Amino acid sequence: MQTALALTGTCVLARPPAAQRRPSRAVRLACRAGSGLNSPASLIGCHSQVWVGGWEKQDIIKSVEGTKNAGFDLIEVNVSVPEEMDGKLTKSIIEEYGLKASASMGLSKKHDISSEDNEIVKAGKEHLIKCLEKVKEVGGSYLCGVNYCAMDKYPGPATAAGLKNCTSSLKELTKRAEDMGINWGLEVINRYESNVCNTGLRAMELIDDAGNPPNLYVHLDTYHMNIEESSSEHAVGVCGDKLGYVHIGESHRGYLGTGSVDFAAFFRALAKYNYQEAITFESFSSAVVSGSLSNTLCVWRNLWEDSEDLAVSANNFMRSGLQAAYKVPLVKKMK
């Protein structure tokens, strides 16, 4: 399974070629320290909103250039509002810097495909098709995130009628995505942001209920796992080869290794089940993210201001942790 599409071609922007613009010495040295790591084949990525809250031309350049200079392989872009995104410009800049692309999103209440209201479900499917088209336009092959319900706190559990709408919509939409060469990842999030999918096991049930499409996968996020899962190994093991995308985030969404997430255990779980797909860093601070997203994610605190330092630290943390985990031989049970 390919989680991202290689981006090739030449960008004709009125700026010096990316190859001629070098990152700061501190960034180069930090990235060089982890350049020889024996990590899995996974692409190591960074969410665009580590760098910016908007997506105008200057934001795209800052985000893509920062991601490249921090040593990542992939940039994850937000396609939640496809109408406000210049996909062709985004693709051209990503191509210029030699990165690969994935895309994530979150549905609003007016586009909730797990709603009992058929008009809302219809609007949601139409919106998700626009998101798929934008993923294709930017050169990506993976749409992950909260693409199965609204990313919001619900007043009660999901209803049978709502879940039926959700799974029938996923059947239809994943077929559309398959025809476009796009994989669909269901992000497992905590109970305060969804009443449909809070654990890896629940995501697997949802996939089964949707008819197990070949391009429908689970997307695990350590921030949410730290709240809901009994253990990293259990969550990763339950998903098996249906685990198609991973977000790395700390318990407070700040610097990795400064919160309560047991990353060593999670990396060991990925190694045990030979996970080889994309692994992307995600972090939010009120100093960077947009006001609307800050409210949606309840990011009230300014956890960091230096995006470059945060990203370089995260890249090295992830690569060194993966190196340690994947080099540890598995202990075979004695007969």
Residue 305 pLDDT level (bands cut at 50, 70, 90): confident
At 207, the pLDDT band (50, 70, 90 cuts) reads very high
Query: If DSSP codes are grouped into helix, strand and coil, which group holds residue 246?
Result: strand
Question: Confidence class of residue 12 from pLDDT cuts 50, 70 and 90?
Answer: very low
Question: How far apart are the C-alpha atoms of 295 and 286, rounded to whole Å?
Answer: 9
Average pLDDT over residues 30-44: 57
> What mean pLDDT is predicted for residues 47-53?
94
pTM for this model (two decimals): 0.85
Name the active-site residue from 96, 229, 250, 282.
282
Supply the DSSP string of 54-90, one letter for each residue. Answer: S-SHHHHHHHHHHHHHTT-SEEEEE-SSGGG--HHHH
Widest pairwise Cα distance in the chain: 66
282 carries an active-site annotation: yes
Query: What's the whole-number average pLDDT of the chain?
Result: 87
Question: In the prediction, which pLDDT does 29 show?
Answer: 41
pLDDT at 202: 98
Give the integer Cα–Cα distance in Å for 61 and 56. Answer: 9
With bands split at pLDDT 50, 70 and 90, how would you rate the model's confidence at 284? confident
- Residues 310-329, mean pLDDT to the nearest whole number: 92
Distance of CA 256 to the CA centre of its chain: 16
Q: Give the model's pLDDT for residue 208.
A: 98
- For residue 301, pLDDT over 90 is answered with no
Q: What is the mean pLDDT of residues 271-276?
A: 95
CB 88 within 8 A of CB 137: yes
- Please report, rounded to a whole number, the percentage of residues in the chain having pLDDT higher than 90: 78
Measure the CA–CA gap between 291 and 295, rounded to whole angstroms.
Answer: 6
Band the pLDDT of 72: cuts 50, 70, 90.
very high
Q: What is the DSSP letter of 260?
A: S
CA 144 vs. chain centroid, Å, equals 6
* Annotated catalytic residue, options 187, 193, 250, 277: 187
Q: Any alpha helices (H) in the chain, and if so which ranges?
A: 25-33, 57-69, 87-96, 118-138, 160-179, 200-209, 222-228, 232-239, 263-272, 291-297, 307-327
Q: How far apart are CA 131 and CA 23, in angstroms?
A: 32
Beta carbons within 8 Å of 236's beta carbon, 6+ residues apart: 200, 220, 243, 266, 269, 270, 272, 273, 275
**Residues 166-202 pLDDT 10s:** 999 999 999 999 999 999 999 999 999 999 999 999 9
Residue 279 has pLDDT above 50, yes or no: yes
Res. 270: pLDDT tops 90: yes
56 carries an active-site annotation = no
